[in-house]
Amino acid sequence: MVKTIVWKDDQVVMIDQRKLPMQERYVVCKGYRSVIRAIKGLVIRGAPAIGVAAAMGVALGALKIRANNREQFEEELDSICREIVAARPTAVNLAWAVERMRRVADETGHRGVKGIKSRLVEEARKMLDEDIAINQTMGRHGQKLLKDGSRVLTHCNAGALATGGYGTAIGVVRAAVEAGKRIEVFADETRPFLQGARLTAWELKESGIPVTVITDNSAGYFMQHGKVDAVIVGADRIAANGDVANKIGTYMVAVLAKTHKIPFYVAAPLSTIDASVKSGKEIPIEQRDEKEVTHFQGRRIAPQGVAAQNPAFDVTPHRNVSAIITEKGIITPPFKAKIRQLLASG
């Protein structure tokens, strides 16, 4: 399976997701600022994957700090952490990962600067391995929701490319296939970055899982014609009440699914749950460059001077969510108390 991100010889290597599926290129980050550029520019994207990238960014940054006294080292490390957290606002995995790295640095203080540095590298690498294992566990839980022959619609890319590997929503599909079920996937193309058409379709094809790319605006057509048995998406942040922020267009799909009585499942690790936000209203939504809408592959498609807006995520209210699949099991509505219990057990 594709390696989304690896730590190699004190550098971070990522597959360039802007170029897929036409070219399989890799970006090598030698310093934390190039990791930030890669996150902002969508070389790497997907909540768990940017969490891992952020952790590796902290480790890279730490390695380059020259200060030998702990106080100055920590001051510089804090400033690196702040810069990395600011790279993208919606996926909470980014802040979660940086916070975990910061804690590790605190706990290792007694080992001196050299000791902290090597412990941070170790932790970032561990987070990558953990993420893959979590996705596999989540997949094993979630696949029970799919029957042999299920036709699953997904939005954006919540696969191996959006994570350390295996995937969240696509991980559930993978696990169902591994359990011997025949599963077909409808991949919404997911304008404007085309995560569905380019990335989900690419990785499913590579894995030999049947996939059909559809335009975003035809999801309703396929549901109305009885072609979709379940929707599974990932998440960038889940609020304490179960509201789900995910790629723009997810809300539309959730509303359609409810109208057509199709289950709408969200697969996400506990690191995507942010108990500090009570509801989706408090989740910051990234607004990206309007050029991503007015231009296609560098060429203008909308009239010069026309206004455009480009919110990158939307919030699906918890009442539209049939179940949340996590590494600790599946929860169904009402979510609030169950989310609290899950986090307490994590």
Q: Which residues are catalytic?
A: 236
Shortest distance (Å) from residue 47 CB to ligand MRU: 4
Residue count at the site for ligand MRU (CB under 6 A)?
A: 17
Q: Decide whether 138 or 331 has the Cβ nearer to ligand MRU.
A: 138
Using CB atoms within 10 A of its CB, is residue 55 exposed (0-12), middle (13-18) or buried (19+)? Answer: buried
What is the dihedral sign for C-alpha 136, 137, 140, 146? negative
Q: Which helix (H) or strand (E) holds 32?
A: helix 32-40
User: How far apart are alpha carbons 166 and 172 in whole angstroms?
Assistant: 9
Nearest to 342 by CA among 334, 330, 333: 330
Out of 84, 116, 204, 235, name the contact with ligand MRU by CB under 6 A: 235
Structure tokens at 79: 């400033």
Out of 156, 160, 177, 197, name the contact with ligand MRU by CB under 6 A: 156
Shortest distance (Å) from residue 46 CB to ligand MRU: 4
User: How far apart are alpha carbons 231 and 39 in whole angstroms?
Assistant: 27
Out of 120, 134, 158, 177, name the contact with ligand MRU by CB under 6 A: 158
The residue nearest ligand MRU at its CB is 234
Does residue 236 belong to the site contacting ligand MRU (CB under 6 A)? yes
Q: Decide whether 163 or 294 has the Cβ nearer to ligand MRU.
A: 163
Does residue 142 belong to the site contacting ligand MRU (CB under 6 A)? no
Q: Decide whether 113 or 230 has the Cβ nearer to ligand MRU.
A: 230
Q: Decide whether 91 or 152 has the Cβ nearer to ligand MRU.
A: 91
Using CB atoms within 10 A of its CB, is residue 330 exposed (0-12), middle (13-18) or buried (19+)? Answer: middle
User: How far apart are alpha carbons 346 and 344 in whole angstroms?
Assistant: 6
Q: Decide whether 46 or 280 has the Cβ nearer to ligand MRU.
A: 46
For residue 159, what is the DSSP state? B
Binding map of ligand MRU across residues 162-181, x = CB under 6 A, - = no contact: xx----x-------------
Look up tokens 């001077």; give the residue: 305
Cβ–Cβ < 8 Å for 307, 315: no
Out of 4, 15, 46, 241, name the contact with ligand MRU by CB under 6 A: 46
User: How far apart are alpha carbons 315 and 238 in whole angstroms?
Assistant: 9
Amino acid at 216: D
Does residue 48 belong to the site contacting ligand MRU (CB under 6 A)? yes
Out of 4, 34, 143, 195, name the contact with ligand MRU by CB under 6 A: 195
Shortest distance (Å) from residue 253 CB to ligand MRU: 11
User: How far apart are alpha carbons 144 and 140 in whole angstroms?
Assistant: 7
Structure tokens at 71: 């106080």
Does residue 312 belong to the site contacting ligand MRU (CB under 6 A)? yes
Q: Decide whether 92 or 183 has the Cβ nearer to ligand MRU.
A: 92
Q: Does residue 226 come out as left (phi exceeding 0), alpha (psi in the -120 to 50 range) or beta?
A: left
Out of 7, 45, 251, 323, name the contact with ligand MRU by CB under 6 A: 45
Does residue 247 belong to the site contacting ligand MRU (CB under 6 A)? yes
Give the CA radius of gyration of the chain: 20
Out of 47, 211, 262, 277, name the contact with ligand MRU by CB under 6 A: 47
Shortest distance (Å) from residue 74 CB to ligand MRU: 30
User: How far apart are alpha carbons 68 and 17 in whole angstroms?
Assistant: 37
Residues forming the site for ligand MRU (CB under 6 A): 45-48, 91, 156, 158, 162-163, 168, 195, 234-236, 246-247, 312
